[in-house]
Amino acid sequence: MKRILFISTGGTLASSHSAHGLAPGLRISDILKKIEGLTEGFEITEEDLFMLDSSNIQPEEWAELAKKIYRCRWDYDGIVIIHGTDTMAYTASALSFALQGIEIPVVLTGSQVSIENPIADATENCRAALHMAASGLPGVYVAFNRKIIMGTRASKVRTRSFDAFESIDYPYAAKINSNGLVINPSVVPRSGSQCILQNSFSTDVFLLKLFPGISPAIFQQCADMKIRGIYIEAFGIGGLPFIRRNLTEAIREVVEQGTVVAVGSQCLYEGSDFTVYEAGRQVLDCGVVETFNMTSEAAVTKMMWALGQYDEPETIRKVMKTNLLGEMGKTMDWDIG
């Protein structure tokens, strides 16, 4: 019998109506009672770790969750984490970096409506997460709407629909259809290496989405606030303004002062190439790191993680440029069907 640990952190799946609005209030035992039929044939252990809306899940919770998983990973064949959908992609990505080489499957799931709701997507998502957790395939994943997404590639793209998550610019790790759980072998690692817990995250980071008219002064303000890393969501395939308001020069100055600056695209799909346009090329000469098709969630959490592990800007830039877990790289086709 596969041993599966269910950890609840809260979120809509675990929510019920309160005087202050929908809030997490269900315990993991209440949740498991609702999906009793699904867990037959598995040896289930339950744990309530947090009872939080995921808007309140922050690097402190990521660190605790990573430590919990690291310490008990040999006691289970897989772990399911119930989590709010709003920041699930950040947590999935943060755990992926903190638990590199994890030897078992760790699968985050949640739902758009509470498990108490008769039309909930919660049961289906728990089923997908449970079967992925029992698959023996190591890694951190998000299970949602009958699809399994690599932890560093997930993004919440819809606020209401059941297909709230997509695998951005990367094939799905698995899907569930009439054949059961169908794994994409080109995506999923065969075995973990050896997990080393690296769960320090720095919050001295800033995520900047460009808009026409943005003041270059924002970069020095960040440096004055002791921000050590800035991730810029630039325009299109790779462009930043350099007339009237010269962002390139402002970026050069803070990079020279030791700030790590990374640049990617505001577009969700197909990634950046800052060499294409004059408006992009200049910034590459300033010592910035290009993130290509990394999601913003992955870029920010990777930067927080890298800053949590290392001090030297040059080392952090090197880490940011390295494809550690498939968080950046070419799109591959795989029929999701």
Residues forming contacts to ligand ASP in the complex (CB under 6 A) are 11-12, 53-55, 84-86, 110, 112
For residues 283 and 95, give the distance between their C-alpha atoms in angstroms, rounded to a whole number. 31
For residue 270 the two structure tokens come to 């197909």
Q: In what order do the strands lie in the sheet with 260-265?
A: 205-209, 229-234, 260-265, 289-290
Nearer to ligand ASP, 86 or 233 (CB): 86
> What is the smallest separation between the CB atom of 98 and ligand ASP, expressed in angstroms?
20
- Interacting residues of 12 by C-beta distance below 8 A, sequence separation 6+: 22, 84, 85, 110, 111, 112, 113, 114
> What is the smallest separation between the CB atom of 180 and ligand ASP, expressed in angstroms?
26
Torsion sign, CA atoms 261, 155, 62, 11 = positive
> What is the smallest separation between the CB atom of 141 and ligand ASP, expressed in angstroms?
17
Nearer to ligand ASP, 156 or 252 (CB): 156
Helix, strand or coil, per DSSP, at residue 16:
strand
DSSP 72-103: HGGG-SEEEEE--STTHHHHHHHHHHHTTT-S
- Phi, psi dihedrals of residue 106, rounded to the nearest 5°: -125, 115
> What is the smallest separation between the CB atom of 113 and ligand ASP, expressed in angstroms?
8
For residues 133 and 272, give the distance between their C-alpha atoms in angstroms, rounded to a whole number. 33
> What is the smallest separation between the CB atom of 9 and ligand ASP, expressed in angstroms?
9
Nearer to ligand ASP, 88 or 187 (CB): 88
What residues are annotated to the active site?
12
Nearer to ligand ASP, 53 or 77 (CB): 53
Nearer to ligand ASP, 110 or 238 (CB): 110
Nearer to ligand ASP, 21 or 212 (CB): 21
User: Which residue intervals of the chain are DSSP H helices?
Assistant: 28-34, 36-39, 59-72, 88-98, 122-133, 217-224, 247-256, 278-284, 296-309, 313-321
Torsion sign, CA atoms 167, 137, 130, 47 = negative
